Amino acid sequence: MRMLEVLIVGGGVMGAATAYALARRGRRVLLLEQFALGHARGSSHGLSRLFSYAYPQAIYTQLAVAARQAWATLEADARQRLLINTGALDIAQTDLSYIRSCVTQLTAAGVPFEQLPANELRSRFPALAVTDQTVGLYQPDGGILPASRCVATLIEQARRYGAVVATGVRVDRLLPDGSGVRVDAAGATYRAQRVVITAGSYTPVLLRQLGLSFPLLITREQSVFFLPRHRVLSKIGYLPVVRDHGHGNGEPLLVCYPDMGEGVKAELVGTGVVVRDPYVPPPLPDPVESERIARRLEATLPGFATRLLRAETCRMTHTPTGDFLIDRHPEYSQIVLAVPCSGHGFTFAPLIGEILADLAVQGTTQHDITPFRLGHLRTSRVLT
């Protein structure tokens, strides 16, 4: 049996990015995806994800700067534009601590931004419902990543560099030993020097096989597309990606994307339903949640929830702190674990692919991933 250099489990955006990074370095790579590429039972499908530099923690802003260069490298390789520069706007009403912290990190990283008072918000973005207390943080270089197209491009480029991608192959068992890892999948057996697990909501099943009981919460989140009354004001060029943090009274974050031809997309972050078994097919979107999103969207952008076009769901895999999990297995160093999600990982995908390739090939990376190590996450404060 031929020994592979690296076998990757999971063909979402993180697995695809890792395959691309490794194949680009000339490594022999096999990626196994249990469903079809671009399937809707994970976290990487759909029309859009946010690219943003605005984080209250320095490490994420710094990584976002590096990730932008990684996206540019992919765009140059693929000879196509992926990141759509729409601008990104955070607004808040009373609790401004998040925006203040983001300003500190953006300033330190040298990322362009503007702080916008209420009168400037009204002038620049007339579709917004703005009170005198509303404050905005605008990043001109923020934007939209077309999710499904990004994954397809990563897979295409990984294959171009020599990676093998197999679909419809579910990994049944991982058996590490002194010389590598045996992988039993769909009736076949593979051997690899290194294995990278980028399995999203299916990760807990594999972790249990490897003797790890790290707590991961899987949720099903819902996005809704609306036909707005003011079509012009909803288009790119008039409307950036908007994140409304509300009044700081516990209401969920609203994220709204400009109309890219399929309507305005809106979602509430942190309102998802817990997924107990990832292998149970997702149910139809919840009309009650769609109505909840519509009400919140109308409060932020009046006239934007005029007509519901469609709803879709995806999954999020959360660590207890909301930080990424990126590390080698504490007992089997030939296995790299990655849960770089918690609802905000897509921005960093090609960079995370590089980091996982580093860990798989050389065991270390030049990027600071201290907060993402297993030991650090287990001793950190749990988000509430």
Phi/psi of residue 76, nearest 5 degrees: -65, -40
pLDDT of residue 2: 72
The pLDDT value given to residue 1 = 62
Q: Identify which has the larger pLDDT, 27 or 382.
A: 27
Query: Judging by DSSP bridges, how do beta strands 335-339 and 188-197 pair with one another?
Result: parallel
Give me the residue label for tokens 């390739």: 357
Q: Which of 339, 328, 337, 329 is nearest to 363 (CA)?
A: 328
The answer to whether residue 250 scores a pLDDT higher than 80 is no
Query: Per residue in 36-64, pLDDT tens?
Result: 999 999 999 999 999 999 999 999 999 99
| Angstrom distance (rounded) from CA 144 to CA 296 | 21
- The share of the chain scoring above pLDDT 90, in percent, equals 92
Range of lowest pLDDT (30-39, 93-102, 335-344): 93-102
Residues 377, 383, 384: CA angle, nearest 5 degrees: 155
Whether residue 382 is predicted with pLDDT greater than 60 in this model: the reply is no
pLDDT tens profile 262-314:
999 999 998 999 999 999 998 899 999 999 999 999 999 999 999 999 999 99
Residue 6 has pLDDT above 80, yes or no: yes
Q: Is the pLDDT score of 383 beyond 60?
A: no
Burial zone of 232 (CB within 10 Å; 0-12 exposed, 13-18 middle, 19+ buried): exposed
On the question of pLDDT at 129 being above 80, the answer is yes
Mean pLDDT, residues 341-348 taken together: 96
Q: Give the H or E element holding residue 123.
A: helix 118-124
Nearest to 185 by CA among 198, 204, 166, 201: 166
Q: What is the mean pLDDT of residues 21-27?
A: 99
Amino acid 247: pLDDT:
78
pLDDT in tens, 60-83: 999 999 999 999 999 999 999 999
Identify the CA nearest to 44 among candidates 341, 372, 351: 341
Comparing CA positions, the residue from 221, 213, 191 lying closest to residue 312 is: 221
Which is more confidently placed, 28 or 94? 28
Give exposure, 88-125, as e/b (b: 16+ Cβ within 10 Å).
bbbbbbeebebbeebbebbeebebebeebebeebeebb
Tokens 């031929």 belong to residue:
2
| Average pLDDT taken over every residue of the chain | 95
SS3 7: strand
Let me know: does 169 contact 34? Beta carbons within 8 Å: yes
CB 43 within 8 A of CB 314: yes
The pTM of the full predicted model, rounded to 2 decimals, is 0.96
Comparing CA positions, the residue from 90, 77, 105 lying closest to residue 50 is 90
Q: Mean per-residue pLDDT for 325-346? A: 96
Sorting pLDDT into bands at 50, 70 and 90, what band is 104? very high
Q: At residue 381, does pLDDT exceed 90?
A: no
Angstrom distance (rounded) from CA 326 to CA 339: 6
Question: Which tokens in the block code for residue 85?
Answer: 């520069």
pLDDT value for 31: 99
* 8, two tokens: 């990757």
Q: In the predicted model, what is the mean pLDDT of residues 209-237?
A: 95
Decide if 13 contacts 20 (C-beta within 8 A). no
Q: Domains in the chain, start-ordered, CATH in brackets? A: 3-45+148-212+321-379 (3.50.50.60), 70-145+217-318 (3.30.9.10)
Q: Quote the pLDDT of residue 321.
A: 93
